[in-house]
Structure 1
Amino acid sequence: MEHLRPLGPGARPLISLRRHVLTLVAVFLALGLGVVLGSTSVATSIRDAVVDREETTAAQLESTRAESAERRLAVDRLDDMAGELARPVLDGTLEDRPVLVVVAPGASDEDVSAAVDVIGAAGGIAAGRVTLTDKAVDPDADAEVQALVANLPIGDAPATDADLGTQLGTAVGRAGLLRTEDAEPHLDDDDRETVLTTLSDAGLVEFEPGTLRPGQLALVVTGPGEAESTAVRVASFARTLDREGAGAVVSAELTGAQGYDAVTVLRSSGEDGVSTVDSAGSDSGRLATGLALAEQLARGQGHYGLRPDATAAVPSLPTAPAR
């Protein structure tokens, strides 16, 4: 029997190349199989979860749509009812009271026409329409407006440091409204014409010559959303009209968009003089507008409509026609 030669110092047993390869292949096959099985299991779980989530989301979406449709139907029916009640409720509440309509930039023709209809339905007199141009709310025109108002024949001019909404509101209010204390014009006819014509020639307001008479109340119709600077100026303008006449109401569209309008500014400032209506395009908003004008005659005030910051949908019904 042949004796095996002992291994020398540091020598290692030889392992065949085949065994090496087989071992490595086995290891990689095991790893690969584990990854495949594991990933298949995970993929299946994810797929099942996604399917379940999609089914749940679809069901929730359908439920939300149905609930939204029901609420929309309820709102539409209530608005229809407000439309039916508007004329009999408003009848006589503004009997023979002249109301000046001021149209702010962005207001729709439909809302302006509806405002005029509301005044007529309440027995009031449309005293005419003054439209504020884009220039009237443009900060770049501030210096020009200030210099112009300072030289108009409007009596006591506002302070030189007054904001431009106040300055323009003073000019329009003196020319377009009756005094609070005695329901007489602030200015004589010549001065009224000079003020309005000068503002028109400067591109700040627009009106149809011969169609304006002094109003006892002012209704400012705005758009559904405005730049913050515009909203702040229109709000200040409305406050000034409120002081120059027997009262003022600002109306705007109801909108879900985030943004500013004069109604938002007045409400957020805690306004307690000017009334606001936030749903001018709806029948309920038009009813609220007419009642808010009548309420202003008695120096009542409130914030009406459907936005969360409104105090009520409409003002309380008057117990008797305003005197």
Structure 2
Amino acid sequence: MIDFRYHIVSIVAIFFALGAGVVLGAGPLKGTGADVVQAQAKKDRAALEDARAELIQAQSLDKYRDDYVAKVTAGLTVGKLTGKRVCVVTMPSADGDLTNQVQDTIEAAGGQVTTRIALDSKLFDPGQRQLVEPLVNELVTADVTFPADSTTYQRAGMILARGVAAKEEGKLVDSEATKIISGLTGSKLLSLKPTPKDRCSLAVVVAADPPTPAPDNSSYNDAVDFAEGLDAGSAGVVVAGTPDTAQNGGLLKSLRGDADATKSLSSVDVANMPSGQATIVFALVEQAGGKAGQYGGVDAKNGVAPTAVQAKN
């Protein structure tokens, strides 16, 4: 334990140092000290100005890059989704601006967004599983067959797909679909707008950035299963997010760690960039052709985007 004498000595030393500084500052080193301080301040100001200039240049180059990529990729994606109906599904807390950008990209590529579906956090709350399981069984239709080894959330995804999606184009929202939509929205597990008239064939699931502190990757297992179920009842699903979602604590990280999920689901981890938004379109085209891939800049197994051949209409 530090005794009282230690504190006395420390205090005396502090006052001695202060006193010495005052004497030297008022004595023969006064001018020299001021010159040193002024010189250092001048050097710091110059360094700050250089850093500011570099930042402005970097921001300008970033803007140029994004604008250039946006214009170039816009030409590449035009018409890629013509005749395709697409649902946009948002995970709880997904960014609204990012979702708008994804929708705009789909529509610019010729696709029709039939509806936007917002999944409520209650859907994936472990305490609500007792609500999800019986509701899924209640809403199942005669034309939906659950695989024997399917999980509760894979089945829930298949039920949503039966309500808003189909494997083929041109399917209307029939009475069975209306029943499913009413059951899911009435239970407050999700909301959707507008109420669709046509069922989509493809879907984009927009992931939310991980919270702080980041959860364990396994906490997204139910969400991955849900996306798999949605894929099983449609012509294809692309899960899109920012680079953070592909790192520990993110949905895409969990998805890409699931060997079965990556066989059917595609993912794009740079959806916040123009190039990534174009990749979403290419991945949707690829999904419609029965293929899947993991794309982006963070541990993306299949590179930055599907190849030109894969992305052809």
TM-score interval for Structure 1 and Structure 2 normalised by the shorter chain: 0.7 to 0.9
Matching residue of 1:235: 224
Residue 92 (1) aligns with residue 92 (2): no
Equivalent residue letter for 1:234: A
Distance 2:219 2:309 in 1: 34
1:192 to 168, 177, 181: 177
Aligned residues: 257
Q: TM-score, normalised by structure 1?
A: 0.71
Question: For 1:102, what is the secondary structure of its paired residue?
Answer: strand
1:123-145 C-alpha deviation (Å, 9 max, x unpaired): 11111111110111111111110
Question: For 2:204, what is the secondary structure of its paired residue?
Answer: strand
Judge conservation of contact 1:102–1:132 (CA < 8 Å) in 2.
Answer: yes
Residue 167 (1) aligns with residue 152 (2): no
The 1:178/1:222 distance shift into structure 2, 3 A limit, reads: same
Residue 158 (1) aligns with residue 146 (2): yes
Judge conservation of contact 2:84–2:169 (CA < 8 Å) in 1.
Answer: no
Distance 1:257 1:314 in 2: 15
Residue 204 (1) aligns with residue 195 (2): no
Q: Report deviation, 1:188.
A: 6.1
Judge conservation of contact 1:104–1:131 (CA < 8 Å) in 2.
Answer: yes
Q: Report deviation, 1:319.
A: 7.7
Residue 245 (1) aligns with residue 230 (2): no
Judge conservation of contact 1:252–1:279 (CA < 8 Å) in 2.
Answer: yes
Distance 2:110 2:95 in 1: 23
1:260 to 221, 236, 249: 249
Question: For 1:207, what is the secondary structure of its paired residue?
Answer: strand
Equivalent residue letter for 2:290: R
1:186-236 C-alpha deviation (Å, 9 max, x unpaired): x86111111011111111110135345211101101112264455222211
Matching residue of 1:177: 165
Question: For 1:272, what is the secondary structure of its paired residue?
Answer: helix
The 1:141/1:77 distance shift into structure 2, 3 A limit, reads: same
Distance 1:140 1:160 in 2: 24
Matches within 5 A, 1:1-323: 77-155=64-142, 156-158=144-146, 162-179=150-167, 182-183=168-169, 185=171, 189-208=174-193, 210-211=195-196, 213-225=198-210, 227=215, 228=217, 230-255=219-244, 259-270=248-259, 271-318=262-309, 322=313
Question: For 2:203, what is the secondary structure of its paired residue?
Answer: strand
Which stretches in structure 2 are left out of the alignment for 5+ residues? 1-43
Question: For 2:71, what is the secondary structure of its paired residue?
Answer: helix
Distance 2:164 2:127 in 1: 25
Q: Report deviation, 1:164.
A: 3.0
Name the larger-Rg structure: 1
Matching residue of 2:21: none
Matching residue of 2:38: none
The 1:320/1:273 distance shift into structure 2, 3 A limit, reads: closer
Equivalent residue letter for 1:245: S
Equivalent residue letter for 2:80: T
Distance 1:103 1:144 in 2: 21
Q: TM-score, normalised by structure 2?
A: 0.73
Distance 1:258 1:173 in 2: 28
Judge conservation of contact 2:154–2:225 (CA < 8 Å) in 1.
Answer: yes
The 1:220/1:320 distance shift into structure 2, 3 A limit, reads: closer
Equivalent residue letter for 1:217: L
Question: For 2:117, what is the secondary structure of its paired residue?
Answer: strand
Equivalent residue letter for 2:160: V
Judge conservation of contact 1:98–1:216 (CA < 8 Å) in 2.
Answer: yes
Q: Report deviation, 1:78.
A: 3.7
Judge conservation of contact 1:128–1:213 (CA < 8 Å) in 2.
Answer: no
